[in-house]
Amino acid sequence: MDNDTTLLLDLDGLAVARVERLEDGTRRVHLITSDEQARARPECGVVATRVKGPATTRPRDLPHGESGLEFRRHKHRWWCCEPGRPRRAFTEQIPQLPAGTRITMRLRA
């Protein structure tokens, strides 16, 4: 899925909601999920329709520009409606930022 965020940051599945400049010159980029498949439960692939609540993370990434970037990823926690599942709640995830990670996969590499 190509969008301006993908072209600029190479973070497919995310979109920039807004950018703010901090006092030290760092730019804080607020990201939201743009890929509908991010709300599919990893274990079974069922796409959730019921939001449990919001979640915000601060993933680290490769340096970008002279003043640097700081990410805030705003995502949803979802309920899986499939009966008989031991764990019903999960958060959105994309390949570059799997659930529970604090750094992008390219920074890890």
The model carries a pTM of: 0.85
- Per-residue pLDDT reduced to its tens digit, 9-41: 888 889 999 999 999 889 999 999 999 899 898
CB 37 within 8 A of CB 52: no
Question: Span 51-73, mean pLDDT?
Answer: 89
- Per-residue pLDDT reduced to its tens digit, 79-88: 988 887 777 8
Q: Which phi and psi (to 5°) does residue 101 adopt?
A: -90, 150
* Pairing, β 69-79 against β 27-33: parallel
DSSP secondary structure code for residue 15 in this structure: E
Q: Six-digit token pair at 21?
A: 């400049």
The predicted structure's pLDDT at residue 2: 56
Question: Is 90 exceeded by the pLDDT of residue 63?
Answer: no
Question: Is 90 exceeded by the pLDDT of residue 75?
Answer: yes
